[in-house]
């Protein structure tokens, strides 16, 4: 008897028929003699709808109440799915994140899972039931408040639950057939990868490949839980995300991210301690800075640009203005129309020239690069948001991932 954790995303439980289809799959897995824990997302776009409803009601920031609101989305789908599974003749019970013992820190909207006390989950399994857990949510034992894990957080719930329960497999059911060499909505001829390493998937997720939330990949890697990303619409094999893979292509995939903005602090005095004076208060404010570029110094002054998530733009701007004033810098500028395009591949380590080729592909298309950052297995460029999809398509065509440098020289 295997213990299987299955996670179903929003589209997969998007309406009554989809919920019934998921129930049939879950019931079949249970009837085949497995123990099943199901993690569900909110139906369809309901999280987005709740966010815009809140914005219509209030212009203020209400982190606690936002979490109370958004966790309702997953409560709806978990209860409906439990009903549909029971109709299939299988005992099922739904649990909120808090009932399932998902303990987090106190950070509303971006809470991190600290521990799982899945006593009620285990009880349900021992009684032979399918246990359905609301994704994306937990409770802070310090404040006793309900928290959410950040967008896409049901993936993290599923992988953390699989790690805690020592599950045999963690299946992530979604609306695409697996992890592709680029977002298939942007690159129609992107290819499905049979397998991808945790390391590469982490970089792809960080670069904007929204098919898996980055933190879920971190959990998978830390606890060595192989993830099977697959379609909820058919039974075909998806993509295995795991520790080691057979191939390590120079370019495994191309990703893009349109969720960041660029902040530039102008005319910063070029002296020791300036970067610390700017980035320490940003970090104290809990703002995740992604890329940073410092221009060459002219007359003892320089510009510093950095990118942050769109949702942190207002706060980042306020913090940067404060720091600029203290430092005697010039103005602070916000550019909301940027996108990050990245190429990722573990084989890059042993195959120089990927960055140069990427720059030349963008140059040929007259796409200006505003910022560059690299890791040993990734090259990212910030470009004009309006050119992002074109850039992804051109890079995908140029590198033809999963591109193997050995093949090219044949
Ligand atoms: P779910 O609701 O199931 O969690 P998401 O919308 O969060 O689904 O993630 C699936 C989507 O991720 C796909 O529909 C696809 O557009 C997008 N995506 C982005 N990059 C990739 C990629 N490299 N491979 C597959 N899907 C990707
Ligand atoms: N419903 C949440 C979101 O849309 C969590 C999830 O779907 O994973 O971000
Ligand atoms: Mg998702």
CB 247 within 8 A of CB 402: yes
What is the pLDDT, as a whole number, of residue 264?
96
Helix axes 154-164, 214-223, angle to 10 degrees: 10
CATH of 246-410, one of 3.40.50.300, 1.10.287.3510, 3.40.50.460, 3.30.2130.10: 3.30.2130.10
Q: Which residue has its alpha carbon closest to ligand 1 atom 2?
A: 9
171 CA distance to ligand 2 middle (Å): 16
Q: Which residue has its alpha carbon closest to ligand 1 atom 15?
A: 183
- For the segment 171-181, the average pLDDT, to the nearest whole number, is 98
Helix axes 198-206, 214-223, angle to 10 degrees: 160
Could you read off the pLDDT of 259-286 as tens digits, one per residue?
Answer: 999 999 999 999 999 999 999 999 999 8
Q: Residue 18, Cβ neighbours under 10 Å: how many?
A: 21
Mutate to test the pocket of ligand 2, among 54, 77, 135 (most ligand atoms within 8 A of CB): 135
Model confidence at 409, in pLDDT bands (50, 70, 90)? very low
**Distance, C-alpha 337 to centroid of its chain:** 21
Give the atom of ligand 1 at the shortest distance from the alpha carbon of 253. Answer: 23
Query: Does the pLDDT value for residue 33 go beyond 90?
Result: yes
Query: What mean pLDDT, rounded, does the chain reach?
Result: 95
Measured distance CA(247)–CA(219) in Å, rounded: 23
Pocket of ligand 2 (CB under 6 A): 9-10, 41-42, 47, 73, 135-136, 151-155
What is the pLDDT, as a whole number, of residue 89?
97
CA distances from 241 to 165, 172, 181, 381 (A): 19, 10, 13, 25
Measured distance CA(198)–CA(255) in Å, rounded: 16
Model confidence at 403, in pLDDT bands (50, 70, 90)? confident
Pocket of ligand 1 (CB under 6 A): 9-12, 41, 152, 174-176, 179-180, 182-185, 209-211, 253
Residue written as token pair 């499905």: 192
Q: Which residue has its alpha carbon closest to ligand 2 atom 8?
A: 152
CA distances from 87 to 15, 21, 23, 82 (A): 17, 12, 9, 9
Could you read off the pLDDT of 344-362 as tens digits, one per residue?
Answer: 999 999 888 999 999 999 9
Could you read off the pLDDT of 79-91 as tens digits, one per residue?
Answer: 999 999 999 999 9
Could you read off the pLDDT of 38-71 as tens digits, one per residue?
Answer: 999 999 999 999 999 999 999 988 999 999 999 9
CATH of 3-175, one of 3.40.1410.10, 1.10.1040.10, 3.40.50.2300, 3.40.1160.10: 3.40.1160.10
What is the pLDDT, as a whole number, of residue 245?
73
What is the pLDDT, as a whole number, of residue 406?
63
Query: Does the pLDDT value for residue 11 go beyond 50?
Result: yes
Region for 144 from its dihedrals, namely left if φ exceeds 0, alpha if ψ lies in -120 to 50, beta otherwise: left
Query: Does the pLDDT value for residue 203 go beyond 80?
Result: yes
Model confidence at 195, in pLDDT bands (50, 70, 90)? very high
Give the atom of ligand 2 at the shortest distance from the alpha carbon of 42. Answer: 1
Q: Which residue has its alpha carbon closest to ligand 1 atom 12?
A: 211
What is the pLDDT, as a whole number, of residue 305?
96
Q: Is 6 helix (H, G, I), strand (E, B) or coil?
A: strand
Model confidence at 410, in pLDDT bands (50, 70, 90)? very low
Could you read off the pLDDT of 110-166 as tens digits, one per residue?
Answer: 999 999 999 999 999 999 999 999 999 999 999 999 999 999 999 999 999 999 999
- For the segment 190-196, the average pLDDT, to the nearest whole number, is 96
Give the atom of ligand 1 at the shortest distance from the alpha carbon of 10. Answer: 2
The domains of the chain are located at 3-175, 246-410
What is the pLDDT, as a whole number, of residue 146?
98
Could you read off the pLDDT of 306-318 as tens digits, one per residue?
Answer: 999 998 999 999 9
Give the atom of ligand 1 at the shortest distance from the alpha carbon of 209. Answer: 20
Of 238, 7, 224, nearest in space to 132 by CA: 7
Predicted TM-score (pTM) of the model is 0.94
DSSP-derived secondary structure for 68-123: HHHHHHHHHHHHHHHHHHHHTT--EEEE-TTTTTEEE-S-TTS--EEEE--HHHHH
Could you read off the pLDDT of 92-101 as tens digits, one per residue?
Answer: 999 999 999 9
Region for 136 from its dihedrals, namely left if φ exceeds 0, alpha if ψ lies in -120 to 50, beta otherwise: left
Mutate to test the pocket of ligand 2, among 135, 136, 173 (most ligand atoms within 8 A of CB): 136
Could you read off the pLDDT of 218-265 as tens digits, one per residue?
Answer: 999 999 999 999 999 999 999 999 998 776 789 999 999 999 999 999
What is the pLDDT, as a whole number, of residue 405?
60
């Amino acid at each position: 008897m295997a213990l299987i954790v299955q996670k179903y995303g929003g589209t997969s439980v998007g309406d009554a028929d989809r919920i019934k289809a998921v129930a049939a799959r879950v019931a079949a897995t249970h009837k085949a003699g497995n123990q099943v824990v199901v993690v569900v997302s909110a139906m369809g776009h309901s999280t987005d709808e709740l966010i815009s409803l809140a914005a219509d009601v209030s212009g203020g920031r209400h982190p606690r109440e936002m979490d109370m609101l958004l966790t309702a989305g997953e409560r709806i789908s978990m209860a409906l799915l439990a009903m549909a599974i029971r109709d299939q003749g299988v005992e099922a019970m739904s649990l909120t994140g808090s009932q399932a013992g998902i303990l987090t820190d106190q950070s509303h909207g971006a809470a991190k899972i600290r521990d799982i006390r899945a006593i009620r989950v285990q009880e349900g399994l021992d009684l032979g039931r399918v246990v359905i857990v609301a994704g994306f949510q937990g409770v802070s034992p310090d404040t006793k408040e309900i928290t959410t894990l950040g967008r896409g957080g049901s993936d993290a719930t599923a992988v953390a639950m699989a790690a805690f329960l020592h599950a045999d497999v963690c299946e992530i059911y979604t609306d695409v057939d697996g992890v592709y060499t680029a977002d298939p909505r942007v690159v129609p001829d992107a290819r499905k990868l049979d397998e991808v390493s945790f390391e590469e998937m982490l970089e792809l997720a960080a670069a904007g490949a929204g098919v898996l939330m980055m933190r879920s990949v971190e959990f998978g890697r830390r606890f060595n839980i192989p993830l099977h990303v697959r379609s909820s619409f058919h039974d075909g094999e998806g993509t295995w995300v795991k520790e080691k893979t057979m191939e390590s292509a120079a370019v495994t995939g191309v990703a893009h991210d349109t969720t960041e903005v660029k902040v530039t602090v102008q005319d910063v005095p070029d002296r020791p301690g300036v970067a610390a004076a700017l980035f320490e208060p940003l970090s104290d404010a809990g703002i995740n800075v992604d890329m940073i570029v410092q221009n060459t110094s002219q007359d003892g002054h320089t510009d510093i640009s950095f990118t942050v998530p769109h949702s942190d733009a207002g706060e980042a701007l306020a913090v940067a203005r404060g720091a600029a004033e203290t430092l005697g810098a010039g103005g602070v500028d916000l550019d909301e129309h940027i996108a990050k395009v990245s190429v990722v591949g573990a084989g890059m380590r042993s195959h120089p020239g990927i960055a140069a080729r990427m720059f030349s592909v963008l140059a040929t298309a007259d796409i200006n690069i505003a910022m560059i950052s690299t890791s040993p297995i990734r090259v990212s460029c910030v470009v004009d948001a309006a050119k992002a999809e074109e850039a992804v398509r051109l890079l995908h065509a140029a590198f033809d991932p999963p591109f193997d440098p050995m093949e090219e020289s044949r």
